[in-house]
Amino acid sequence: MAIRFEIRPAVEEDLGALHALIKDTPQAGEICLNFERAPDFFHGTGVTTQHPEVWVMNDLKTHRLAGVFSIGHRDVYCNGTRQSIRYGNDLRIHPDYQGGRTLFRLFSQYRKIMQQDWMQTIILSDNTQSLNTVGSGRANLPVYFPYGTLHTHMVYLRRPRRGLRNLARNSKYRIRRAQPGDIERMQDYFNCEAPKRQFYPHYEFSQLETGDGYYRDLKLSDYFLVFQENELLGITGVWDQKEFKQTRVIDYQGKMKLLRHVNNMQSLFFGGLTLPSPGKTLNYLLIHTVLIKNDVPEVFEALFAFIFNEYSASKRSQAGKYNALICGLSPDDPLTPVLRHYRRQVVTSKHFIASYGEDPRPGFDANRQLYLEAARL
């Protein structure tokens, strides 16, 4: 009997089929979204992991992709040590192949690849289908061990309140954009502070603007530094990724058909995220590399207010360019309360450690604050 399906590493020639598969697998809900990777799927994957590993399941009869998953490596700090850890994402199965043995076949390949490795993965709390699948105990699936939560804060940009403007201007902290002469100092600071957090991704600031795909479209001037006198107390960056990753609204269902217009009217007068018409993309800027010495909320408060004001609608050069800042933090992060000053929407995701072997969680230092980089999901 002829073999109908093959599971193999993805290649450049799969680009068209990958984009077609993404188009056919949107995230269902009252707002139907699709997380796209135009114009090149591999550009987005190269930002998520330093060493991408994308596998596709090809239907040899119909000559189209039945499914895809990514399971590459990236350097993160685990228990204070820089380690190359797998991150699982981009699991998509075409609707025509859901409910069959496609998932079984894909995870058979997962098992072969992972062996005794474990990996990180994140699933939206509203994605009940995926959560039910990982908790089903089906054959060939790894065990998904819960390990923390990510709150993704969509902070609406608008004309800043006077209090926030004054907070940034009258702060005892000095805040400015990074410059070429700061790279060595930034790296020394990062190498000291990042290992204190669990799963913080490693950054090499000297690789910015060198063509390294892991830092695609990220510039040194996208980083903001906060000082007290001459001491560096924190760094945080912004990242516009829409040239290679987009969130597209496919449709509105139920009450959201009406609420979209109500939301947009409020945004017109008070500022906020304008929900686009079906077929259009959301317009936001990602906050990343949040690293504050000793996790002092006051320092992050001044730094975030500065960044907010920099990109708010009051800036003529930025007006209308972005509707929101996206910042991901764990709910128990000492810096999270700072974001409560802002009009925002919060999306909750669950973080898992997946393994075919023993539960690795007892080996993790529970005293280290969990950090999950929203810009690299």
Q: How much of the chain exceeds pLDDT 90, in percent?
A: 75
| Tens digits of residue pLDDT in 257-272 | 888 988 888 877 776 6
Dist. CA 262–CA 77, nearest whole Å: 44
Q: What is the pTM of this model?
A: 0.93
Q: Is the pLDDT of residue 330 over 70?
A: yes
Measure the N-to-C terminal CA separation of the chain; round to a whole number of Å: 40
Dist. CA 324–CA 346, nearest whole Å: 12
| CB distance 281 to 274 below 8 Å | no
pLDDT at 8 (0 to 100): 97
Scored b (16 or more CB within 10 A) or e, 260-290 reads beeeeeebeeebbbbbeeeeebbbbbbbbbb
* Confidence band of 274 (pLDDT split at 50, 70, 90): confident
* Bridge partners of residue 35, in order along the sequence: 247
Sign of CA dihedral 152, 78, 244, 218: positive
* Bridge partners of residue 83, in order along the sequence: 76
Domains 5-146 and 153-245+272-353+363-376 are alike in CATH topology: yes
pLDDT at 214 (0 to 100): 99
Lowest mean pLDDT among 128-142, 213-227, 330-344: 128-142
Q: Is the pLDDT of residue 47 over 60?
A: yes
Domain ranges of the chain: 5-146, 153-245+272-353+363-376
Domain 5-146 CATH superfamily: Gcn5-related N-acetyltransferase (GNAT) (3.40.630.30)
DSSP annotation string for 217-248? T--GGGEEEEEETTEEEEEEEEE--TTT-EEE
Structure tokens at 108: 């058979």
| Tens digits of residue pLDDT in 55-108 | 999 999 999 999 999 999 999 999 999 999 999 999 999 999 987 788 889 999
pLDDT at 194 (0 to 100): 99
Dist. CA 228–CA 67, nearest whole Å: 51
What is the CATH number that goes with domain 153-245+272-353+363-376? 3.40.630.30
Scored b (16 or more CB within 10 A) or e, 203-236 reads bebeebeeeeebbbebebebbbbbeeeeebbbbb
* Confidence band of 206 (pLDDT split at 50, 70, 90): very high
pLDDT at 263 (0 to 100): 83
| CB distance 87 to 75 below 8 Å | no
* Confidence band of 28 (pLDDT split at 50, 70, 90): confident
> What is the β-pairing status of strands 54-59 and 64-78?
antiparallel
